[in-house]
Structure 1
Amino acid sequence: MPDPLSLEALEQIEAQHLLRNYARLPVAVASGADVWLHTVDGRRILDLLCGLGVTSLGHGHPNVTMAITEQAGTLLHASNLVHLEGPVRLAQRLAESSLGGGVLFQNSGAEANEAAIKLARRHKRGGEIVSLFRGFHGRTMGALSATPQESKQEPFAPLVPGFRAVPPTPEAVHAAVGDGTAAVLLETIQGESGVLPIDPDTLRAAREACDAHGALLIVDEVQSGMGRTGDMWSYEATGVVPDVITVAKALANGLPVGALVTGPHLLDVLQPGDHGSTFAGNPLVAAAAHAVLDVMQAPGFLERVRVAGDRFRAALEAVPGIASVRGRGLMLAAELDADAVGRHGSAGDLALRLVTEHDVWVNAPAPTTLRLLPPLTIGDAEIDEGVARIAAGIAAR
């Protein structure tokens, strides 16, 4: 095989042939193994972001690799117009692990949220979608309309009508939901805004308001689901059971798949022709997702995520320059103190230095916040190494 292209060569080609919608780091990755990324120039980066919460079993997990390899030699695609055992069994496993109803496969989290919006409108025969300030549900036009962040919405106005955003308080939710509401769409932990947990009273208010007015409660589990918080689904720890969840990111450990999962009472809402996708839930991604679920549903796996999360949190809290740590399981955010921000300019500037100078990858969803979404398989030694590298980066001047 030819030698991999250098970072400079890749940047030259990208400048001519890729649209500029990603602000890429000055890092060119050649391969990955477990919690490590290997660059074309020989560096070894500790991956504490795992592809934005996607490769939750790490890079090159043997179970996933074997499942993909075997399925690739059998059948990649036959369309959703025939019966396929792998996707059907995957739907059964997802439903039985959560809401017990039906599943509609998609290719991403944004698409899963689009499908959820359509389901809610079909169920209510129209109606408004209520979402929460600071929420993030995707960049397609419907999902973007449910994402009340001006910097993301303003360039693409006019948005899809029929969406309303409110503060994440019980009072605001109760006031917004009425007989004309089709659904409340929310995250239990707002990942893209800085790992911000929604108050349990607000979640209960959303459930009560939806029940009172015949609306659906949709919980976006795209980032917080699939074991990320130490439970299979983040809603499980809240005591509030939604009507619908949306799933993606970690479901196939890197292959593109999303899913809408409903309670039994919504199994017959969508009819043939209401929604579809050419590639969604094909045998290849289903095989990978089965392998992921096999690992995550094994005895002790989720308990280990909770223990690892506690270790990570405690270690981060002891780092000079970190004022506080929030989140659950291995979905964490470290809030920088004023001195650390003053030295580095912003959390974004610090995150760039961490990956380029200290070989540890995190990101900055807010000016004073570092976000950590490490592989759920991370060991104690790697946790300690990661915290040491973050501490060294914060301390550097």
Structure 2
Amino acid sequence: MNVFPTYNRFPIHLVSGKGTVVIDEQGKEYLDFVSGIGVCNLGHRPDYVKEALKDQLEKVWHVSNLYEIPEQESAANWLTKFTELSQVFFCNSGAEANEAAIKLARKHTGKEKIVTFEKSFHGRTFAAMSATGQPKVHEGYGNLLPTFEYLPFNDTEAVKEIKSDTAAVMVEVIQGEGGVIEADVEFLEAVQEKCKEIGALFVIDEVQTGIGRTGYPFAYQHFDLDPDLVTSAKGLGSGFPTGAMIGKPELAESFSAGAHGSTFGGSPLASTAVKATLETIFQEDFLEEVKAKGNFLKEKLTNNLNQVDLVEQVRGRGLMIGIAMKEAALPIIKKLQTAGLLTVLAGPNVVRLLPPLTVTYPQLEKAVELITQSLVEYQAQLYSKTDAQK
């Protein structure tokens, strides 16, 4: 094997997919409720994005940011038109978007400290890893960057104690990797007010929650929030690697020529994928349908799993749902794979559901049926083992 063993891979080799359905090399079909971990928001191989990319492939692939890229400006326009933000820096991933936000916050404010929260996840590059509030991500790398401070998530009182030497506070509206944990509105408002009070930037990491995932262009729009910076990736390019940092106009002077850069960020191909994706998702009817599907899925799961003792809670917004378990969730993930449903962990005890935003109601019904059946069977197996050991 010539690839570093950095991933614990499941023994599944997917060879084709369309929409919500993927097929492995044995010909077995699955409903894909992972979507590349929230990447394929329009499902696999969306026709509109594919055709736009095919057209661009016949023109030019890469020119570098030394030259004007009209496709990049068009993509930036779509990213900002539904927000109060106006400036975009394109990169290649969520981690890079968060790195850009960290750099800009320090440069703009002249301060160094960045406050984040326990159980957060902001990426695996060194600064983004330092920003992540999970010790397991830090293990083995020695001293992290010393300018990060972690506070308890959803602790409004802790936010009030943030000091004036802080350059930025970075927060997720829903902690994805941390367990699909929603932020309280009072907590988010407290972060926003504290940032205004001390002259820090209010940064929202929307790498997983953005691009329609919760039924709005960005999840912070569920609330009356006014972030200085928003970071995006995952669903931004329908599977084409891309990321973006989006900011207020007054931040532009701090990111002038030479302040930051990316060889591949915002290439004609990437920008084409972004524009085509957003032209589809950032439509009112499309987003309303995501909200309706999310409510349907959450309600069905809550009702069906209400009598399953192993389940503590069904939580989340839109089509970002977590099933919190009293036991380790990995056995359930594997059981669902056997049943034909792909899901993903969010911490050790949470089954996370991230279906394409184009998922159909019959597919949602089928997924709920498979989840309910698998959990009931698994619970019976556990109880049977427990009884046998008595």
Task: Tell me by how many angstroms 1:296 deviates.
Answer: 0.9
Q: Distance in 2 between matches of 1:371 and 1:286?
A: 29
Kept in 2: contact 1:117–1:129 (CA 8 A): yes
Task: Tell me by how many angstroms 1:298 deviates.
Answer: 2.6
Task: Tell me by how many angstroms 1:84 deviates.
Answer: 1.1
Q: How does 1:177-256 map to 2 (within 5 A)?
A: 178-256=163-241
| 1:279 and 2:247 matched | no
Q: How does 1:316-335 map to 2 (within 5 A)?
A: 316-320=301-305, 321=308, 322-335=311-324
Task: Tell me by how many angstroms 1:381 deviates.
Answer: 0.4
Kept in 2: contact 1:228–1:331 (CA 8 A): yes
Task: Tell me by how many angstroms 1:291 deviates.
Answer: 1.0
Q: Distance in 1 between matches of 2:192 and 2:77?
A: 25
- Which of residues 95, 104, 123 in structure 2 aligns to 1:138? 123
Name the counterpart of 1:49: 34
| 1:394 and 2:375 matched | yes
| 1:81 and 2:66 matched | yes
| 1:263 and 2:252 matched | no
Q: How does 1:120-139 map to 2 (within 5 A)?
A: 120-139=105-124
Name the counterpart of 1:64: 49
SS for the counterpart of 1:165 is strand
Q: Distance in 2 between matches of 1:299 and 1:110?
A: 29
Name the counterpart of 2:78: 93
Q: Could you report, residue by residue, the CA deviation over 1:354-394 in whole angstroms, capped at 9, with x for unpaired residues?
A: 11x10101112133311001100011000001111112211
Counterpart residue identity of residue 322, structure 2? A
Name the counterpart of 1:352: 334
Q: How does 1:287-298 map to 2 (within 5 A)?
A: 287-298=272-283
Task: Tell me by how many angstroms 1:88 deviates.
Answer: 1.1
Counterpart residue identity of residue 53, structure 2? I
Normalised to the residue count of structure 1, the TM-score between the two structures is 0.92
Q: How does 1:104-119 map to 2 (within 5 A)?
A: 104-119=89-104
Q: Could you report, residue by residue, the CA deviation over 1:205-232 in whole angstroms, capped at 9, with x for unpaired residues?
A: 1111111111100000000000001111
Kept in 1: contact 2:212–2:282 (CA 8 A): no
Kept in 2: contact 1:101–1:265 (CA 8 A): no
Kept in 2: contact 1:101–1:267 (CA 8 A): no
| 1:172 and 2:158 matched | yes
Q: Distance in 1 between matches of 2:376 and 2:85?
A: 49
Counterpart residue identity of residue 360, structure 2? G
Q: Could you report, residue by residue, the CA deviation over 1:60-98 in whole angstroms, capped at 9, with x for unpaired residues?
A: 110011011111111100000111110011112212222
- Which of residues 319, 340, 356 in structure 2 aligns to 1:375? 356
Q: Distance in 2 between matches of 1:299 and 1:160?
A: 42
Q: Distance in 2 between matches of 1:244 and 1:30?
A: 38
Counterpart residue identity of residue 238, structure 1? F
Normalised to the residue count of structure 2, the TM-score between the two structures is 0.93
- Which of residues 244, 265, 289 in structure 2 aligns to 1:304? 289
SS for the counterpart of 2:304 is coil
Q: Could you report, residue by residue, the CA deviation over 1:177-227 in whole angstroms, capped at 9, with x for unpaired residues?
A: x22110001101101111101111111111111111111000000000000
Q: Distance in 2 between matches of 1:194 and 1:167?
A: 14
Q: Distance in 1 between matches of 2:317 and 2:47?
A: 27
Supply the RMSD in Å over aligned alpha carbons. 1.1
The gaps in structure 2 that reach 5 residues or longer are 382-390
SS for the counterpart of 2:334 is helix
Task: Tell me by how many angstroms 1:297 deviates.
Answer: 2.2
Task: Tell me by how many angstroms 1:303 deviates.
Answer: 0.4
Kept in 1: contact 2:95–2:124 (CA 8 A): yes
SS for the counterpart of 1:318 is helix
Task: Tell me by how many angstroms 1:154 deviates.
Answer: 2.1
Q: Distance in 2 between matches of 1:278 and 1:99?
A: 28
Kept in 2: contact 1:129–1:162 (CA 8 A): yes
Name the counterpart of 1:154: 139
Task: Tell me by how many angstroms 1:234 deviates.
Answer: 0.6
SS for the counterpart of 2:346 is strand
Kept in 2: contact 1:99–1:244 (CA 8 A): no
Q: Distance in 1 between matches of 2:347 and 2:124?
A: 18
Q: Distance in 1 between matches of 2:304 and 2:17?
A: 28
Q: Distance in 2 between matches of 1:157 and 1:385?
A: 46
The gaps in structure 1 that reach 5 residues or longer are 1-15
Task: Tell me by how many angstroms 1:324 deviates.
Answer: 2.2
SS for the counterpart of 2:276 is helix
Q: Distance in 1 between matches of 2:213 and 2:287?
A: 9
Aligned pairs, number: 373
Name the counterpart of 2:386: none
